[in-house]
Structure 1
Amino acid sequence: MGNIIGGGIFLLPASVAPYGTVSLLAFGVLTVGAIALALVFGRLARRSPRTGGPYVYAREAFGDFAGFLAAWSYWIMSWVSNAALAVGAVGYVHVLWPGHQSRGTDLVLALLALWLPALANLAGTRWVGAVQLVSTVLKLIPLLFIAVIGIFFFDPHKLGSFTEGGHSAIGGLSASAAILLYSYVGVESAAVSAGEVRDPERNVGRATVLGTAAAALVYLLGTLAVFGTVAHGQLVHSTAPFSDAVNTMFGGAWGGTVVAVAAVVSILGALNGWTLMSAQVPYAAAHDGLFPKFFAVRRRGVPTAGVLIGTVLASLLTVFNYASGSQRAFEVLVLVATFSATVPYLLASGAQLYFLLSGRTAEVRTGAFVRDIVLALTGFGFSLWLVAGAGYEAVYQGTLFLFAGVIVYAWMSARRRHRPAPVPEAVTEPVR
């Protein structure tokens, strides 16, 4: 839940309001796809409860190259997303600390947002879990409060029309879905860290499905509450829809402060989880010789080299963002990161289909063959929808990033081929 719910939820109602209440229907459709994908990851984690998640499944089904592409894409997505989250946190800090905005101060705050979760990760997986639990509870309290209390202030006349802005129902559904799609990136988080989880065959599947369903419930109820408490005309132009909802319910102007605190906590919690994610997949790939071996260095259950390298790369990207003074290059990279997340999703869904259709149902450990085929196809379709929602430019740029990794794969493959073969141990005949 902590990885799925970042800072975007606090702007989502205003982002989809121009399309009308059809966006709530889009949320429902997307939730079905996200939960189907979560169920697929749960099934795959039961079959292969190892750290690495999508990388492990793709490699076991389709070989080293597919596994490498899954690991490479996921790694790029994770540290670029971390940089984006850090920059997003700075915007909410401005609400809490007005009048102190400068490029230098913002850079320092963004770097702190990256390195504080990194330090928690370096302290060990127990600290990661503790920080994630606390931050998730702290950010859920205000979101659930608004969602539940919003029922008593709900005014259907504020919802606006089913479709707005001249969009057809299908057009509004697709357009709002394209915005909402990225809210569910992170459904694979529990599977990625399966090797560090107690009883992963049971707990990873549960965490994946329950976490995704709970995040979806928070999204839907929170968005519905904002739609029903903030007048549609105001919501379309709102820069802080949850703050406006609190102010509408209780009056005053303190809602912005409460929501800003929740947003900062939410983003720091997401960074805590995604910092670990940025190290886990390279760690698994390094163990198999597909990534440089220093990614396999681990201490207290955490791949320390991966955490440090991912945080350094995210820091460099953050410095570039503030030094250039232009958001355009950074926005493109964020879209590239979103596209990159879909590659391991597609490969994992394809792996599940392969295991089912190749007669290896015993390894999948599931009895309902038809149900699992439907789930895998739904997860695959959901992932394709993510690709379409990323847009042409992101797909084009993301494909270039993806295949740039071929150079790394060629280098690692050549190194493995020239490694001396292990000398077999001498076999001693037993004395008769």
Structure 2
Amino acid sequence: MADDSKTGLVPVIGRWTLAGLVLNSAIGSGIFGLPSLVSEHVGRAAPLAYLFAAVGVAVIMACFAEVGSQFREAGGPYLYAREAFGRFAGIQVAWAAWLVRLTAAAANTNLFVTYLAEFWPAASGGLSRFLAITLVLAVPVAINYRGVKSGARMSNIFVIAKLIPLTFAALLGLVFFQGGLSIPSGGALSSPSINSWMDAILVLVYAFGGFEVGLFPMAEAKDPRRDVPFALLIGFVVMLAIYLLVQIGVQAGLQSPELSSRPLADAAGNLVGRWGAVFITVGALISIYGYLGAMMLNVSRLTYALAEQKDFPSFFGRIHPRFRTPYLSVLMFGIFVWALALAGSFRWNVTLSAVARLLTYAATCGALIPLRNKAPELRRFRLPAGKWIAIAGVIFSVTIATRMDRTALAILAVTLLIALANWAMVKQRA
């Protein structure tokens, strides 16, 4: 738990950089396809779904603010579950967290290449696709291999760069929007059912998700007790504002957003012409690439933490003698993402990401109470009515999980079985 002990890593990440990591980890490619998915479930009432989802996400993030503020070690939700519930739970959450990031990063890599094909059509298949995926991943791997300052600087640059086209899309919507938030009459979407609202919220939980990855490199944070709540608050407010305004913008430019596979670009094209669509497409490429850079920095710290706790092969914990980074964790993450991007599909990767994410959220919310009981005097950010908020977070996560299909649940079951096998091997070596 939180202390000033030496970890071998350099504490150079400040509060604004941490906020940037939270934003960059959450705002990936989802925002560029999100409006279509939400509109598919609830029509032009989609902005209301953002507000409903925001309530549940705020509860979860509040739990992360307290739990995350009391740790200096790297690891995020894995570490929280291990401290609160024991080694078995920690390994289960670790596998879920690592696999969701691998597949989410792979999905984003494929989507980057899909957008890239707008300017380089050959990138959509064959050798060109192979080369594009390899180059897309090689740069952030190299940057984060060399040092955390370089990786964090890359994250900050892409946070600023990605917000420009997203702000443009949101402002277009505010200028041109005339449709209101009303539900259209007639058709299947005219009166969304409870299940439709829950499906929309599930999509939005995935869209807001990823913020927790920004908390992985706590061993390199300057002051987690102060900076974690700040970073999560800034991340939540900015994400909600951007997502809500972008949805309104899309509904201003498209009569039926659910029919578009590139809703932001298509809406901009309808509102201001071809140059608007190109501008948004470039913005999508920037956003996705920034997301990948943040993943390389943050998720490699998860496997580093696992190795430190002897819950993962020891070589993942090796620190580079010159750059002082967990270089093998960076390399292994890049290699696995590269393989999944070449072999897997976007839909499969997204499904696994959503399933595993809810598991880590429920575990972290549930960890708040036992962590308070274990160390009541520990200096931390203390959430008012924290125990009740933690219970609400668990209930919300489980309730949303009931909307997952059988394939997603089957993938989660396989993931947990792999984690069980890993735990058995660790226990046998102990």
Tell me if TM exceeds 0.5.
Answer: yes
Task: Indicate the structure (1 or 2) with the bigger Cα radius of gyration.
Answer: 1
Q: Are 2:377 and 1:384 aligned?
A: no
Q: 1:338 to 1:176 in 2, by over 3 A?
A: closer
Q: Are 2:388 and 1:374 aligned?
A: yes
Q: Are 2:347 and 1:331 aligned?
A: yes
The question of whether the paired residues in 1 share the 8 Å contact of 2:66 and 2:382 is answered with: no
Task: Identify which of 154, 169, 176 aligns with 1:153.
Answer: 176
Task: Identify which of 258, 261, 268 aligns with 1:236.
Answer: 258
Q: Using the alignment, how far apart are the partners of 1:402 and 1:344 within structure 2?
A: 12
Within 5 A, what are the aligned runs for 1:312-327? 312-321=335-344, 327=345
Task: Identify which of 69, 73, 78 aligns with 1:50.
Answer: 73
Q: Using the alignment, how far apart are the partners of 2:265 and 2:159 within structure 1?
A: 19
Q: 1:317 to 1:236 in 2, by over 3 A?
A: closer
The question of whether the paired residues in 2 share the 8 Å contact of 1:20 and 1:163 is answered with: no
- Count of aligned pairs: 404
Q: Using the alignment, how far apart are the partners of 2:186 and 2:282 within structure 1?
A: 33
Partner residue in 2 for 1:8: 30
Q: Are 2:278 and 1:257 aligned?
A: yes
Query: Which deviates more from structure 2 when the two are superposed, residues 334-343 or residues 30-39?
Result: 334-343
Query: Which deviates more from structure 2 when the two are superposed, residues 98-107 or residues 14-23?
Result: 98-107
Q: Using the alignment, how far apart are the partners of 2:204 and 2:230 within structure 1?
A: 24
CA drift at 1:63: 1.0
Partner residue in 1 for 2:248: 224
CA drift at 1:141: 0.7
The question of whether the paired residues in 1 share the 8 Å contact of 2:177 and 2:249 is answered with: yes
The question of whether the paired residues in 2 share the 8 Å contact of 1:4 and 1:212 is answered with: no
Partner residue in 2 for 1:324: none
Task: Identify which of 271, 279, 299 aligns with 1:278.
Answer: 299
The question of whether the paired residues in 2 share the 8 Å contact of 1:295 and 1:305 is answered with: yes
CA drift at 1:193: 1.5
Partner residue in 1 for 2:334: 311
Q: Using the alignment, how far apart are the partners of 1:367 and 1:277 within structure 2?
A: 25
Q: Are 2:223 and 1:199 aligned?
A: yes
Q: Using the alignment, how far apart are the partners of 1:384 and 1:164 within structure 2?
A: 31
Q: Using the alignment, how far apart are the partners of 2:239 and 2:52 within structure 1?
A: 14
CA drift at 1:189: 2.2
Q: What do residues 25-51 of structure 1 show as CA deviations (whole Å, max 9, x unaligned)?
A: 221111122122112111112222321
The question of whether the paired residues in 1 share the 8 Å contact of 2:174 and 2:248 is answered with: no
Q: Using the alignment, how far apart are the partners of 1:87 and 1:271 within structure 2?
A: 11
The question of whether the paired residues in 2 share the 8 Å contact of 1:355 and 1:364 is answered with: no
AA partner of residue 228 (structure 1): A
Q: Using the alignment, how far apart are the partners of 1:231 and 1:247 within structure 2?
A: 13
Q: 1:265 to 1:314 in 2, by over 3 A?
A: same
Partner residue in 1 for 2:377: 362
Task: Identify which of 17, 40, 43 aligns with 2:39.
Answer: 17
Q: Using the alignment, how far apart are the partners of 1:158 and 1:95 within structure 2?
A: 32
AA partner of residue 346 (structure 1): A
Which runs of 5 or more structure 1 residues have no equivalent in the other structure? 322-326, 418-432
Q: Using the alignment, how far apart are the partners of 2:61 and 2:74 within structure 1?
A: 16
Q: TM-score, normalised by structure 2?
A: 0.87
Q: Using the alignment, how far apart are the partners of 2:45 and 2:181 within structure 1?
A: 14
Q: Using the alignment, how far apart are the partners of 1:42 and 1:368 within structure 2?
A: 8
The question of whether the paired residues in 1 share the 8 Å contact of 2:311 and 2:426 is answered with: yes
Q: 1:315 to 1:359 in 2, by over 3 A?
A: closer
Which runs of 5 or more structure 2 residues have no equivalent in the other structure? 1-22
Query: Which deviates more from structure 2 when the two are superposed, residues 144-153 or residues 263-272?
Result: 144-153
Q: 1:287 to 1:164 in 2, by over 3 A?
A: farther
Q: Are 2:422 and 1:408 aligned?
A: yes
CA drift at 1:135: 0.8
The question of whether the paired residues in 1 share the 8 Å contact of 2:250 and 2:267 is answered with: yes
Q: Using the alignment, how far apart are the partners of 1:45 and 1:64 within structure 2?
A: 18
Within 5 A, what are the aligned runs for 1:157-176? 161=184, 165-166=188-189, 167-176=191-200
Partner residue in 1 for 2:15: none
Q: What do residues 337-384 of structure 1 show as CA deviations (whole Å, max 9, x unaligned)?
A: 32122222221111102234x474433745665x21232123223322
Partner residue in 1 for 2:63: 40
Q: 1:364 to 1:39 in 2, by over 3 A?
A: farther
Q: Using the alignment, how far apart are the partners of 1:368 and 1:155 within structure 2?
A: 40
Task: Identify which of 118, 139, 148 aligns with 1:95.
Answer: 118
Q: Using the alignment, how far apart are the partners of 1:385 and 1:133 within structure 2?
A: 35
The question of whether the paired residues in 2 share the 8 Å contact of 1:155 and 1:229 is answered with: no
Q: 1:105 to 1:159 in 2, by over 3 A?
A: farther
AA partner of residue 193 (structure 1): P
Query: Which deviates more from structure 2 when the two are superposed, residues 399-408 or residues 4-13?
Result: 399-408
Query: Which deviates more from structure 2 when the two are superposed, residues 94-103 or residues 404-413?
Result: 94-103
Q: Using the alignment, how far apart are the partners of 2:349 and 2:242 within structure 1?
A: 28
CA drift at 1:333: 4.2
Q: Are 2:238 and 1:210 aligned?
A: no
Partner residue in 2 for 1:246: 268
Q: Are 2:79 and 1:63 aligned?
A: no
Q: Using the alignment, how far apart are the partners of 1:390 and 1:256 within structure 2?
A: 33
The question of whether the paired residues in 2 share the 8 Å contact of 1:82 and 1:275 is answered with: no
Q: TM-score, normalised by structure 1?
A: 0.87
Q: Using the alignment, how far apart are the partners of 1:246 and 1:210 within structure 2?
A: 27
